Amino acid sequence: MKRQYTSPHLTVFESELFRTTSTCIVTDAYLLLVDPNWLPSEIKTIQAFAAAQSAGKEKHLLFTHSDYDHIIGYGAFPGFKTIASQRFVDNPKANEQLQQTIAWDDEHYIRRDYPLSYPTIQHAIAGDGQDLRIGPDDYRFYQAPGHNYDGLLTFNRSRGILIVGDYLSNIEFPYVYHSFAAYRATLNTLETIIASGEVQILITGHGDHTTNREEMERRICKDRAYLDGVETAVRSGQPFDFAKLMAGYDFPIVMGAFHEKNLLVAKREFEG
């Protein structure tokens, strides 16, 4: 399995599917694994890595949000202390997400040596800017709705590691399943965190991490421009220039479908 970033304390694995990332922070005291995913062979690689790195340490498993691609590895890591947002716990669509993992495996003839289930969360994060100490590290969490309803931003302040889930991707424009207004608010939260100058590395759910602050800011600008463009198109009734958008992205068929879904969400939101 590809590792797009490796340092003594941080490894970012990358799946061959949708370039989905799985992040692992390792210290002398604990191991924190984020969104372990996709294929059985990839999960095995991450399991082996975590097992080798976690002897005698606390083991934590964090979910950035409940989209099925991010929870599909849950059952492979029993005994880990789980962390996610309170909304993830209260999610009325929990069963829908679980059913999507089951349907996806069925569709692709995938067998796993662990059961698929919706994650049970031991540590639910309810507030915004909530602090948590894990081992020697200070973490701060921010609610991140917009992409979906239950997103969570995870900032390891001690090491400058910001894990954002499905925001600020360099290979996807915003996928807005939940709300444009909430998505914009989350971009504002990200902008504030990045402006603190404390972020050394930003890890997105799909695509490349970045250690460059200008690149982080560029991604915010680009995503705002997309949201504005969709809103303008919906409010004015003028067509959105999808071909122009796709000059910056690689997969026009599937991304066309996501863009169409965004337009439906925008119509619902802006036309009342």
Q: What are the residues binding Zn ion (CB under 5 A)?
A: 67, 69, 166, 205
Which residue number, 100 or 130, has a Cβ lying nearer to Zn ion? Answer: 100
First to last CA, the chain: 45
Q: What number of H helices and E strands is found in the chain?
A: 8, 12
Q: List Cβ neighbours of 243 (8 Å cut-off, separation of 6 or more).
A: none
Q: The tokens of 106 are what? A: 């069925």
Alpha helical stretches, state H, the chain: 40-53, 68-71, 86-90, 94-107, 180-195, 213-236, 242-246, 252-270
We find the least distance from the C-beta atom of residue 15 to Zn ion, in angstroms, to be 10
Which residue number, 26 or 43, has a Cβ lying nearer to Zn ion? Answer: 43
Which residue number, 67 or 137, has a Cβ lying nearer to Zn ion? Answer: 67
We find the least distance from the C-beta atom of residue 68 to Zn ion, in angstroms, to be 9
We find the least distance from the C-beta atom of residue 209 to Zn ion, in angstroms, to be 15
Q: In this chain, which residue has its C-beta nearest to Zn ion?
A: 166
What does the DSSP assignment read for 12-30?
EEE-SSTTBEEEEEE-SSE
Burial of 145 (0-12, 13-18, 19+ CB in 10 A): buried
Which residue number, 84 or 134, has a Cβ lying nearer to Zn ion? Answer: 84
Which residue number, 34 or 234, has a Cβ lying nearer to Zn ion? Answer: 34
We find the least distance from the C-beta atom of residue 223 to Zn ion, in angstroms, to be 15
Cα–Cα nearest to 189, from 143, 232, 151: 143
We find the least distance from the C-beta atom of residue 97 to Zn ion, in angstroms, to be 11
Q: Are strands 30-34 and 58-62 parallel, antiparallel or unpaired?
A: parallel
We find the least distance from the C-beta atom of residue 17 to Zn ion, in angstroms, to be 10
Round to whole Å and give the CA distance between 88 and 149: 8
Which residue number, 134 or 203, has a Cβ lying nearer to Zn ion? Answer: 203
Q: Which residue has the tokens 């600020």?
A: 168
We find the least distance from the C-beta atom of residue 205 to Zn ion, in angstroms, to be 5
CA distances from 102 to 72, 90, 115 (A): 9, 21, 10
Which residue number, 22 or 82, has a Cβ lying nearer to Zn ion? Answer: 22
